[in-house]
Amino acid sequence: MGQIMTDPALRLKLYKLMTLARASDDRMAKLKAQNEVAGSAFLGRGQEAFSGAAGLHLKSGDVFAPCIRDQAGRFAFGETPLDCVRTVLGRSTGPMKGRDGNIHRGNWGIGLLPFISHLGAMISPVLGVLLARRLAGRLGDSVGAASIGDGGMSAGALNEALTIAGVERLPFVLLVADNRYSYSTTSDRTYACAHLVDRAAAFGFAGHRCDGTDADACLATVGAAVAAARAGMGPQMVVADLLRLAGHGTHDDASYVPEDVRSRWGDCLPLFERTLMQQGLLSADEASRIREEARAEIEAAVEQARSEPQADPATDDWQVRSERDLVNLRAAR
């Protein structure tokens, strides 16, 4: 159980988002197995608590660059199941007009940056938005956040970007999901410090760490980090310890993860469910209703997307949808 107990409504909201993300991941894996998805499907099983907590603590006006295991954070930040499914199924109605791979999606209109790469490439664009806002005198109390994995923490682009974030003292939060693996490479082969949070000071970041299998700890720790960035206390790094409960993508069965490692780590979703039940905040009936509603919501999005046209290069105007969103954003200011 987390050190600081957040309010029950926020905790239940996180539980519902985690359930929705799990239902979405399960359905995407099935769509992939049914050969309806081009490329692999990338799942965030086991990372929903940390990811969802981040999305919930960000607010309208912030910028968020999620990674491939952040379906919970995406939903929390405002991505709809329909936008997710439309992209995964390559529909022209999707935010990327069906032209990008299933994980390379975003929505400039809500500050969700379209995904470039899992290995550190998303930090600089977030910092660019924050710097541009500061120069234009429009930063206000907005913050930027980006997700990364343990392997991505050793990428060159990330090190350059974190240096700038520290030097400029930007209101930036780096969310690090140390899920013990980078594809099949174990984390002891990707970093040599005792814990990734030890790197925070080197970049001029405040460092925080939490148990990523404990939803309450995630809510409290990410909440403190986002609040500190918002209050002008400079960049923050939050490292969550957890295990990737799936393969790198659906093409990978993760059979290289030894049984003793699997059994050492919990799954944040059932753990949170049990805590909420023990505290009388959730009944078994409510939990199954929430699960069923999540499944139905995802299924409705799948049915809707399936009825829509796929991307057609012959008729596409090749205008980037985000361009239109940017124009709308400027008009709204």
Ligand X SMILES: Cc1ncc(C[n+]2csc(CCOP(=O)(O)OP(=O)(O)O)c2C)c(N)n1
In the complex, the residues that contact ligand X under the rule CB under 6 A are 69, 117-119, 149-152, 179, 181-183, 244, 248
Q: How far is the CB of 295 from ligand X (least distance, A)?
A: 25
Between CA 235 and CA 52, with CA 80 as vertex, the angle to 5 degrees is 40
Q: Is 78 or 249 the residue whose CB approaches ligand X more closely?
A: 249
Q: Which does 118 bind (CB under 5 to 8 A by kind): ligand X, Mg ion, none?
A: ligand X
Contact characters 166-195, Mg ion, x per CB under 5 A: -------------x-xx-------------
Q: Is 24 or 179 the residue whose CB approaches Mg ion more closely?
A: 179
Task: Return d(Cα 4, Cα 309) in angstroms, integer.
Answer: 48
Residue 1, token pair as written in the block? 């159980």
Q: Which does 212 bind (CB under 5 to 8 A by kind): ligand X, Mg ion, none?
A: none
Q: Is 11 or 180 the residue whose CB approaches ligand X more closely?
A: 180
Q: How far is the CB of 147 from ligand X (least distance, A)?
A: 9
Task: Return d(Cα 288, Cα 272) in angstroms, integer.
Answer: 14
Task: Return d(Cα 215, Cα 13) in angstroms, integer.
Answer: 11
Those residues with Cβ within 8 angstroms of residue 4's Cβ, 6 or more apart along the chain or in another chain: 216, 220
Q: Which does 248 bind (CB under 5 to 8 A by kind): ligand X, Mg ion, none?
A: ligand X
Q: Identify the bridge partners of residue 240 per DSSP, sorted by sequence position.
A: 177, 210
Q: Is 63 or 243 the residue whose CB approaches Mg ion more closely?
A: 243
Q: How far is the CB of 175 from ligand X (least distance, A)?
A: 11
Q: Is 117 or 304 the residue whose CB approaches ligand X more closely?
A: 117
Q: Which does 69 bind (CB under 5 to 8 A by kind): ligand X, Mg ion, none?
A: ligand X
- Residues of this chain, 118-157, that bind Mg ion according to CB under 5 A: 149-150
Q: Which does 117 bind (CB under 5 to 8 A by kind): Mg ion, ligand X, none?
A: ligand X
70 is an interface residue for Mg ion by CB under 5 A: no
Identify the residue whose tokens are 């393969």.
247
Residue nearest ligand X by beta-carbon distance = 149
- What is the rounded radius of gyration, in angstroms, for the C-alpha atoms of the chain? 19
Q: How far is the CB of 190 from Mg ion (least distance, A)?
A: 8
Task: Return d(Cα 147, Cα 325) in angstroms, integer.
Answer: 23
Q: Which does 256 bind (CB under 5 to 8 A by kind): ligand X, Mg ion, none?
A: none
Q: Which does 183 bind (CB under 5 to 8 A by kind): Mg ion, ligand X, none?
A: ligand X
Q: Which does 108 bind (CB under 5 to 8 A by kind): ligand X, Mg ion, none?
A: none
Q: How far is the CB of 3 from Mg ion (least distance, A)?
A: 25
Q: How far is the CB of 175 from Mg ion (least distance, A)?
A: 13
Task: Return d(Cα 204, Cα 275) in angstroms, integer.
Answer: 36
Residues that bind Mg ion (CB under 5 A): 149-150, 179, 181-182
